[in-house]
A and B are shown apart, each in its own frame.
Chain A
Amino acid sequence: MKNKSFLGIVLICLLSLACSDSFLDVAVQGGVTTTTDPKLAEKLVTGVYNSLLQGDSWGDGDIHGFAFITVTNIISDDADKGSTPSDQAVPVGDIDNFTLTPTNKFAETLWSGNYNGIGAANQALAALATAAIDTDQRDVWMGEVRFLRAYLYFNLVRMYGGVPLVFRVPKDADDANSDITFKTRASVETVYDSIENDLHFAIEKLPLKNNGHVTQGAAKSMLAKVYMYQKEWDKVFQLTNEVINSGQYKLVEDYATIWRQVGNNSIESIFEIETGEFNNANLKIDNYTVSQGPRTGGSGGWDDLGWGFNTPSTSLVNAYEEGDFRKEATIISIDNSGTRKGTVLWDGFRIPSSDSVQNLYYNYKAYTSRESESYAVSADKDRPKNIKILRYAEVLLMNAEAALQPTVNQPSFAESSMKLIRERAGLEPKASYTIEDVWKERRVELAMEHDRFWDLVRQGRAAAVMHAAGKTNFVEGKHELLPIPNSQILLSGNVLAQNPLY
Chain B
Amino acid sequence: MRRILLVSILLMMALHVSAQNRTVTGKVTDVADGSGLPGVSIVVQGTSKGTTTDAEGAYSIDLVTGEDILVFSFIGYKTQSIAVGDRAVVDLPMEGDATELTEVVIVGYGEQRKSDITGATATVKGEELTRQPVLTATQAMQGKVAGVQIISSGQPGTSPQIRIRGVGTALAGTTSLYVVDGVLTDDISNINTSDIIDMSILKDASAAAIYGSRGANGVIIITTKKGAAGGLKLNYNNNIGIRQASNLVEMANAAEYSNYVQAATGKAPTASGYDTDWYDVILRNAWQQTHNLSLSGGTDKGTYLLNVGYLNDQGIVVDNSFKRFTVRLNNEYKLLENLKFGLQSSYGNSINQNGFGNVDIDAFGNIGSVYSDAYRSAPIIPSIVDGKYGNTSAYQNVGNPLLDVKNNSIKVRENRLQGSSYLEYKPLSWLTLRTSIGADWRSSLNRGYYYQFNADESTFVTSGGNQYRSLSSLNVKQTTSFRWVFDNTASIHKSFNKHDFTLLIGTTAEKYKQEWFSANRSDVPADPDLWYIGVGDANTSQNDGGGDAWARNSYLGRLNYNYDGKYLLTATIRSDGSSRLPSQNRWRQYPSVGLGWVLSRENFLQSQNFIDFLKVRASYGKVGNDQIPTDAYTLRVAVNKPYPFGGSTTNGSQINQIIDPNITWETTEEYDAAIEFELLQSKLSGEINYYNKKVENALIIIPIMGNLGDINGEVVTNAASIENKGVEVSLTWRDEINDDLSYSISGNATFNNNHVVALNGGQAIWGGSIGAAQGYTTYTDNGHSVGSFYVLQTIGVFNSEAEVAAYKDKNGKVIQPTAKAGEFKYLDKNEDGVIDDNDRVFAGSYQPVAYFGADINVKYKNWDFGLSIYGNAGNEVYNGKKAVRVSGTDNVEKDIVYNRWTSANRSQTEPGANVGNLPASTYFVESGTFARINNLTIGYTFPSSFLERIKVSSLRIFATSQNLFTYKKYSGFTAELPGNPTDSGIELTSYPTTRTIAAGLNIGF
A459 to B240, CA, bound (A): 78
B507 at the interface (CB under 8 A from A): yes
**Contact stretch, chosen from B103-111, B658-666, B678-686:** B658-666
Distance A350 CA – B659 CA, assembled complex (angstroms): 52
Is B862 in contact with chain A by the CB < 8 A criterion? no
* Most A Cβ at <10 Å: residue of B397, B464, B719, B838: B464
Instruction: Judge whether B637 and A274 touch: CB under 8 Å.
Output: no
Q: Which residue of A lies closest to B580 (CB)?
A: A26
Note all chain B residues with C-beta closer than 8 A to A10. 431, 433, 490, 505
* B637 close to A37 (CB less than 8 A): yes
Name 21 interchain pairs, CB-CB below 8 A, sorted by A: A16-B507, A24-B578, A24-B586, A25-B579, A33-B636, A34-B635, A44-B654, A52-B643, A108-B706, A111-B706, A115-B708, A116-B709, A173-B715, A212-B647, A265-B647, A274-B645, A274-B647, A278-B649, A280-B541, A296-B465, A300-B394
User: CB of A429 within 8 A of chain B?
Assistant: no
Q: In the complex, are the beta carbons of A274 and B646 less than 8 A apart?
A: yes
Complex: chain A residue closest to B890, CB-CB: A86
Pair B509/A23 contact, Cβ less than 8 Å: yes
Give chain A interface residues in 52-101, CB to chain B under 8 Å: 52-53, 58, 60-61, 84, 86-91, 99, 101
Query: Which residues in window 509-538 of B have CB below 8 A to A?
Result: 509, 513, 515, 522
Interface flag for A166 (CB, 8 Å): yes
B707 close to A488 (CB less than 8 A): yes
Q: Which residues of B contact A383 (CB under 8 A)?
A: none
Given contacts A34-B637, A43-B652, A265-B646, contact A61 B661 (CB under 8 A): no
Q: Contact between A170 and B708 (Cβ–Cβ < 8 Å)?
A: yes
Tell which of B490, B513, B660 has the most Cβ of chain A within 10 Å.
Answer: B490
Contact pick for B548, options A3, A9, A29, A34, CB 8 Å? A29
Question: Which residues of chain B are near A119, meaning CB under 8 Å?
Answer: 656, 707-711
B-side interface mostly: loop
A77 CA / B311 CA spacing, docked (Å): 64
B residues in contact with A211, CB < 8 Å:
645-646
Binary contact track A279-303/B, C-beta < 8 Å → 1, others 0 = 1110100000000000010001111
On chain B, the residues within 8 Å of A13 by CB distance are: 433, 435, 488, 490
Contact between chains at A488 and B706 (CB < 8 Å): yes
Q: Which of A23, A26, A486 has the most CB of B within 10 A?
A: A26
Q: Which residue of A lies closest to B520 (CB)?
A: A280
> Which residues of B529-554 have CB atoms within 8 Å of chain A's CB atoms?
539-542, 545-553
B800 within 8 A of A: no
User: Which residues of chain B are near A487, meaning CB under 8 Å?
Assistant: 703, 706, 766
Interface residues of B in 978-1003 (CB under 8 A from A): none
Does any Cβ of A come within 8 Å of B705's Cβ?
A: yes
Q: Is the CB of A60 within 8 A of B712?
A: yes
Q: If A172-B659, A176-B715, A211-B645 touch, does A486 touch B837 (CB 8 Å cutoff)?
A: yes
Query: Does the CB pair B433–A9 fall under 8 Å?
Result: yes
Residues in chain B near residue A264, CB distance under 8 A = 647
Q: Closest B residue to A43 by CB, please name it.
A: B653
Inter-subunit contact B433/A303 (CB<8 Å): no
Given A24-B578, A116-B656, A172-B659, A485:B488 Cβ within 8 A:
no
Residue of B nearest to A126 (CB): B655
The segment from B286-294, B455-463, B749-757 found at the interface with A is B455-463
A123 CB–B CB distance under 8 Å: yes
Across-interface contacts of A89 in B (CB, < 8 A): 917
B658 touches A172 (CB 8 A): yes
Q: Please, how many angstroms separate the alpha-carbon atoms of A300 and B659 in the complex? A: 50
Q: In this assembly, does A236 line the interface, its C-beta being within 8 Å of a C-beta of chain B?
A: no
Residue of B nearest to A264 (CB): B647
Is B651 on the interface with A (CB-CB < 8 A)?
A: yes
Q: Does A331 contact B (CB under 8 A)?
A: no
Query: Do B773 and A90 have beta carbons less than 8 Å apart?
Result: yes
Provide the residues of chain A in CB contact with B655, threshold 8 Å: 34, 44, 47, 120, 123, 127, 169
Sort chain B's interface into a size bin. 35 or more
Q: Of all chain A residues, which has the CB nearest B650?
A: A46
> B949 in the interface, Cβ–Cβ < 8 Å?
no
Query: Is B904 an interface residue when CB atoms closer than 8 A count as contact?
Result: no
Question: Is A213 an interface residue, CB under 8 A from the partner?
Answer: yes
B555 touches A18 (CB 8 A): yes
Kindly identify, within residues 388 to 443 of chain B, every residue whose CB is under 8 Å from any CB belonging to chain A: 394, 397, 427-428, 431, 433, 435
How far is A122 from B654 in the complex, measured between Cα atoms in Å?
11
A164: shortest Cβ distance to chain B, in Å?
6
Pair B836/A103 contact, Cβ less than 8 Å: yes
Question: Complex: how many Å from CA A183 to CA B707?
Answer: 9
Interface string of B547-569 (1 = CB under 8 A from A): 11111110100000000000000
Q: Is the CB of B705 within 8 A of A47?
A: no
A31 to B547, CA, bound (A): 9
Cβ-defined partner of B654 (8 Å) among A47, A172, A213, A283: A47
* Cα separation A186 to B689 with both chains bound (whole Å): 58
Question: Which B residues lie within 8 Å of A115 (CB)?
Answer: 706-709
For the complex, is A275 an interface residue (Cβ under 8 Å from B)?
Answer: yes
A176, B719: Cα distance in complex, Å: 14
Given known contacts A37-B653, A280-B542, A281-B542, A303 and B645 CB-to-CB distance under 8 angstroms: no
B363 shortest CB reach to chain A, Å: 12
A14: which of B505, B645, B704, B763 is its contact (CB, 8 Å)? B505
A51 x B646 contact (CB < 8 A): no
Known contacts A14-B488, A90-B773: A24-B645 contact under CB 8 Å: no
Contact residues in A for B644 (Cβ distance below 8 Å): 212, 274-278, 283
Q: Mark A97-113, 1 if CB is under 8 A from B, else 0.
A: 00101110100100110
User: Would you give the 0/1 interface string for A26-46, flagging 1 where the beta carbon is closer than 8 Å to chain B?
Assistant: 111111111001001001111
Q: Would you call A283 and B463 a contact (CB within 8 A)? A: no
A17 interface hit (Cβ, 8 Å): yes
Known: A18-B555, A296-B464, A303-B464. 15 other contacts (CB 8 A): A14-B505, A16-B507, A23-B553, A24-B578, A31-B631, A32-B637, A44-B652, A87-B397, A120-B655, A173-B715, A173-B719, A182-B705, A278-B649, A296-B465, A301-B463
Say whether B634 contacts A31, CB under 8 Å: yes
Tell me, yes or no, whether B258 is within 8 Å of chain A by CB: no
Q: Does A227 contact B (CB under 8 A)?
A: no
User: What 1/0 mask marks residues of chain A from 250 to 279 whose CB sits below 8 Å from any chain B CB?
Assistant: 000000000000001100000000111111
- Judged by a CB distance under 8 angstroms, whether A431 is at the interface is no
- In contact, B915 and A86 (Cβ under 8 angstroms): yes
Complex alpha-carbon distance, A446 and B416, angstroms: 62
Is B707 a contact partner of A164 (Cβ separation < 8 A)?
Answer: yes
Is B46 positioned at the interface, with any CB of A under 8 Å from its CB?
A: no
With A43-B652, A44-B655, A172-B658 already in contact, the answer to whether A101 and B836 are too (CB < 8 A) is yes
Does A491 count as interface, using CB distance less than 8 angstroms? yes
Do B818 and A183 have beta carbons less than 8 Å apart?
no
Interface pair B637/A40, CB less than 8 Å apart: yes
> 1/0 contact trace for B746-786 toward A, CB 8 Å?
00000000000000011100100000110100000000000
Contacts of B310 in A (CB 8 A): none
Chain A, residue nearest B701 (CB): A173
Contact, CB under 8 Å: A277 / B653:
no
B621 at the interface (CB under 8 A from A): no
The chain A residue sitting closest to B540, CB to CB, is A280
User: Would you call A6 and B427 a contact (CB within 8 A)?
Assistant: yes
A33 and B634: CB pair below 8 A?
Answer: yes
Going nearest first, the 8 A-B pairs with the smallest beta carbon separation are A119-B709, A212-B646, A46-B652, A276-B644, A212-B645, A112-B706, A300-B464, A47-B654
B887 touching A177 by the CB < 8 A rule? no
Query: What are the residues of chain A within 8 A of B634 when measuring CB–CB?
Result: 28, 31, 33
Known contacts A176-B704, A274-B646; A118/B709 CB under 8 A: yes
- Whether a CB of chain B sits under 8 angstroms from the CB of A369 is no
Report whether B645 and A102 are in contact in the complex, using a CB–CB cutoff of 8 Å. no
A177 pairs with B717, CB closer than 8 A: no
Please encode chain A, from 195 to 216, with 1 for each CB lying within 8 Å of some chain B CB and 0 for all others: 0000000000000000111000
- Please tell me if A140 contacts chain B, counting CB pairs below 8 Å: no
In angstroms, how far is the closest chain B Cβ from the Cβ of A501? 11
* Chain A 461-492 near chain B by CB (<8 Å), digits 1 or 0: 00000000000000000000000011110011
